[in-house]
Amino acid sequence: MAGLTVERVVQAPPERVWRSFADPVELSAWFWPPRLQPQARIDATAGGALRIRSDVADLGITGTVTAAEEGRLLSTTWRWDGEDDETAVTIELAPEADGTRVTVRHDGFATEHAVQEHVTGWNDCLDRLVATA
C-alpha cells in the first residue's frame, strides 16, 4: 500500500485552522473549488461521521473520524462514493512562528496512480485553505 504527505503553513493559529477542518460551513467553503458547490458534514470527535459531497460534480467521500485532538490532530477513514477501497487520512496541526504547519498524510492506496491523483487533489485543497484561513 502506498501513501502521500503534503504540507503547508497557514498564516493563522492552530485553533483557527482546526475550525477550517472541524466546522462544516468552513470546510465546505474551501475544500473543493467553489464551482463544485461542496457541502460538508463533520462531527470532529472520535467515532464521528465525515461527509463531503458535490451534487454538481456527482462526487463525494464518506469517512469516520478515528482520532481527534482539537487544535492538533484529525484522523479519518476516506472512501469515495461508488468505490470499495478505503484509505486513511491524518491531518496534524503544529504551531509555527508564522502560523500553523498543516501536514496531511493519506495512506492505503493500491496504486501509484491513485497516490499521484490525491497528491494533486490535496495540494489544490491546501492552496485554497491557505488563501481562506
Measure the CA–CA gap between 38 and 35, rounded to whole angstroms. Answer: 8
**Given this model, what pLDDT does residue 8 score?**
97
Q: What band does 132 get if pLDDT is binned at 50, 70 and 90? A: confident
**Given this model, what pLDDT does residue 133 score?**
77
What lies within 8 Å, CB to CB, of 47 at 6+ separation is 64, 65
Phi, psi of 95 (to 5 degrees): -65, 145
Q: Which cell is 85 given?
A: 477501497
The full length of the chain comes to 133
Q: Are 70 and 22 a contacting pair, CB within 8 Å?
A: yes
**pLDDT above 80 for 56:** yes
User: 35-68 in b/e burial notation, b at 16+ Cβ within 10 A?
Assistant: ebebbbebebeeebebebbbeeeeebbbbbbeeb
